[in-house]
Chain A
């Protein structure tokens, strides 16, 4: 059996992922590019007698060094020995799509164009001459319709053929005489010096020449390894000056102009379209959803619906899983009886992992909604409408609003939703403030305390905590923006894609991926952490689980003085805070266990809480619970999303400092003002 490897390349929103899902189905694996935070989707399929490995490259508009995604894609084409690069192109927007194509042609990649979304092109009355296009590009062109799985056989056959007869796609690429004439000298100079075994030995000299003229940092750095690199740089500077004199533009602009001029030529020869663009369905919807008056109400309504659906549909399933684990615990207790094994399994594993797994239905639903909103194209509009607010207040952009709102539900899908942001610094900054959005798991804690201390103002007190979270998020974002991400101003450039019906298959596959990776995490990080906490609660031998004499009780006692300035210096509070790191709901359960009560006995817990806290220290405690380290699941998600321990650790530090500071101010300020 033969084995070929292909890369899927293309702009964002062209149906690349849909095609990938259609081709590979569940035979795919999503991970990260080595050392990068960029998602890498790999899959395979068998066709005739060939195993085709497919790598879905990030969606890019170009192959410069604008983003890590562009660099990842470029490195893949340059360095990895792929047989064919399939360039997925949106037929309704050939012009801009072909820009990426020209850059891959510069590299001489063995290209195959998969022309997608032809039905929309026909709706817009665009007539594309496929044969002429293929002829002029010098690469095969296949018409497909990824959402309907049309053209699959033809595409796969073309891929096989292309793998057997590779073409040098740079042959047909011609930039104007002025440019190519001048490039010749530089090219041959580079060619002469690029013979040794260096990083660039397998790319065309013409490409290196263009990149040098475009001031590409990475290539410039690599060329410094060449023998006569100074001579090369001299020539580059000479050319830049020459072009500046002739065109009064810098070389980057000139090269972009030539690329588009080549594309314009192609379009004139191959596409017939109406003089005036037809008003599309997309524009009609956009008139409404980005309307000056209706824009916000529509956004809020969609958000409300999303929450309602997620939590009303999700809650029963959540209960079901919770009850299932409860029954499992009882069952295990019956078989194993009392003893350390049953305690490990019931208190440790089921208590920790089981508690976290109850979130699976919520995560599935939330992710489902997000995928639908994103794939349909609405999310981009929401970001467009909200950008000004986010920019003014937090220094972020419109896209970061969605994760923050999702954070009120559950931090895990919220952190995952930061994927929609292009720039890594924006993503990370957003991740760092998402935990301050009060997630639903904190609600039981508030419920317990407001019932015990603020019975008359329950709603108001809870709302004040939500607002406190938002205020802290804004302040933390401002500080981080000033310190950690100084000088990182990210402009808001975003395509507003045409509205499309999301492909059910794609949405389901992605949702499954997410849910599964969450379950996997529950089985690893969270399992390990739960066991550690169980061990700490059970040792030394014969101690009562989680009592003051247990290791965790002793740790709680030891650290409790730290919390005296915050008003809750009792060891029970410290232990509940430690346990709360596993999951926020555990805080309430901990008070129950510590008081030697059945977990369900709310009134008993209320009594314990009333004896331990004053209203002021209770409020300070709630503020602490709101702001401090998010749960294991969230920390694990940050680790997974950023592909390093740096940011989860930073998150732990930031949230702890914020929580301590705010609680301190509340308690001390409150005491000064005479509250108690």
Chain B
């Protein structure tokens, strides 16, 4: 098991959310919690936008996009 931040996932790689950094915008954090970014949620990097940012992620059965900067505040656990 390796811990990395969400923006470090490789294309198609899946992880489980372990923690949320406190440094980001609290309002955004609240929003993301509601969107399913909670501890234990499985999350997969589906695609990186053509210019390298943002990311298209899949969790809880839907797709969402998020910039790398914000994704860096979320830690995920990935199976080796």
- By a beta-carbon cutoff of 8 Å, the part of chain A in contact with chain B is 61-62, 64-66, 92-96, 99-100, 214-215, 249-250, 252-253, 256-257, 260, 277, 283, 286, 290-293, 295-296, 384-385, 387-389, 391, 489, 491-497
Provide the B4-37 mask, 1 if CB < 8 A to any CB of A, else 0: 0000000000000001101001111111111110
Docked-complex contact A95 and B36, CB < 8 angstroms? yes
Min distance, Cβ A164 to any Cβ of chain B, angstroms: 32
Add 4 more A-B contacts to A94-B61, A388-B49, A494-B64 (CB < 8 A): A92-B61, A99-B34, A257-B38, A493-B32
Contacts of B22 in A (CB 8 A): 250
Partner of B49, one of A293, A387, A491: A387
* Residue of B27, B52, B62 touching A66 (CB-CB under 8 A): B27
Q: In whole angstroms, how far apart are the Cα atoms of A96 and B32 in the complex?
A: 11
> What count of chain B residues pass the 8 Å CB interface test?
38
Q: Which residues of B contact A388 (CB under 8 A)?
A: 49, 51-54
A-B contact pairs, 18 of them (CB 8 A): A61-B34, A95-B36, A99-B34, A99-B36, A100-B34, A249-B19, A252-B26, A253-B20, A253-B39, A283-B46, A291-B50, A387-B53, A387-B65, A389-B51, A489-B25, A491-B67, A496-B62, A496-B63
Q: Give A80 Cβ to nearest chain B Cβ, in Å.
A: 23
Smallest beta-carbon distance B37→chain A, Å: 8
Q: B30 near A252 (CB under 8 angstroms)?
A: yes
Bound form: Cα–Cα A291–B56 in Å? 12
Partner of B47, one of A92, A252, A290, A497: A290
Q: Roughly how many angstroms separate A214 CA and B33 CA in the complex, as a whole number?
A: 12
- Contact across chains for A385 and B50 when beta carbons are under 8 A apart: yes
B70/A493 in contact, CB under 8 A: yes
Q: Are A495 and B64 in contact (CB under 8 A)?
A: yes
Q: Are A96 and B61 also in contact (CB < 8 A) when A252-B29, A387-B49 are?
A: yes
Q: Whole-angstrom distance between the alpha carbons of A290 and B11 in the complex?
A: 14
**Contact call A95/B61, Cβ cutoff below 8 A:** yes
Q: Does B66 contact A (CB under 8 A)?
A: yes
Q: A277-B61, A388-B53, A493-B70 are in contact. Are A215 and B26 (CB under 8 A)?
A: yes
What separation, in Å, do the CA atoms of A64 and B32 have in the docked complex?
Answer: 12
Question: B31 and A290: CB pair below 8 A?
Answer: no
| Chain B neighbourhood of A384, CB < 8 A | 49, 54, 56, 65
Secondary structure dominating the interface of B? mixed
User: Which of chain B's residues have a CB closer than 8 A to the CB of A291?
Assistant: 50
Q: A61-B34, A64-B30 are in contact. Are A493 and B39 (CB under 8 A)?
A: no
A385–B27 touching, CB < 8 Å: no
B33 to A, closest residue via Cβ: A256
**A493:B66 contact, CB within 8 angstroms:** yes
Residues of B within 8 A of A295 (CB): 49-50
| Chain B positions within 8 Å of A257 at CB level | 38-40
Closest chain A residue, CB of each to CB of B34: A62
In the complex, chain A residues whose CB is within 8 Å of the CB of B29 = 252
In the complex, the answer to whether B56 meets A62 with C-beta atoms within 8 Å is no
Would B64 and A493 count as touching, CB distance under 8 A?
A: yes
Set of chain B residues within 8 Å of A93, measured between Cβ atoms: 60-62
Whether B51 contacts A491 by the Cβ 8 Å rule is no
Which of A277, A293, A296, A387 is the one whose CB lies under 8 Å from B67? A387
Contacts of B46 in A (CB 8 A): 283
**Which chain B residues border A249 with CB–CB below 8 Å?**
19-20, 39
- Do B35 and A61 touch (CB < 8 A)? yes
Q: B57: nearest residue on chain A (CB-CB)?
A: A496
Alpha-carbon gap, A290 to B28, bound state (A)? 25
**Structural contact, B50 and A260, CB atoms closer than 8 A:** no
Q: Are A493 and B30 in contact (CB under 8 A)?
A: no
* Chain A residues closer than 8 Å to B52, beta-carbon distance: 388
CB-CB under 8 A from A65, the residues of chain B are 27, 30
Q: Which of B19, B30, B35, B69 contacts A96 (CB 8 A)?
A: B35
CB distance from B32 to the nearest CB of A (A): 7
Knowing A257-B39, A384-B49, A384-B65, the reply to whether A496 touches B30 (Cβ < 8 A) is no
Please, which residue of chain B has its CB at the minimum distance from the CB of A496?
B63
Residues of A within 8 A of B32 (CB): 493
Please state if A66 and B31 are interface contacts (CB–CB under 8 Å): yes
- A61: which B residues are within 8 A, CB to CB? 31, 34-35
Q: Which residues of B contact A493 (CB under 8 A)?
A: 28, 31-32, 35, 64-66, 70
- Tell me the complex Cα distance, A545–B53, Å: 58
Question: Does the CB pair B49–A260 fall under 8 Å?
Answer: no
- How far apart are B30's CB and chain A's nearest CB, in angstroms? 5
Chain B residues with Cβ below 8 Å from A292 are 50
A295 to B, closest residue via Cβ: B50
The answer to whether A286 and B47 have CB atoms under 8 Å apart is yes
- How distant is B33 from chain A, measured CB to nearest CB, in Å? 4
Which residues of chain B come closer than 8 Å to A277, judged between CB atoms?
A: 61
| Residue of chain B at shortest CB distance from A380 | B65
Bound: A435/B59 CA distance, A = 39
CB distance from A544 to the nearest CB of B (A): 59
Q: Are B28 and A491 in contact (CB under 8 A)?
A: yes
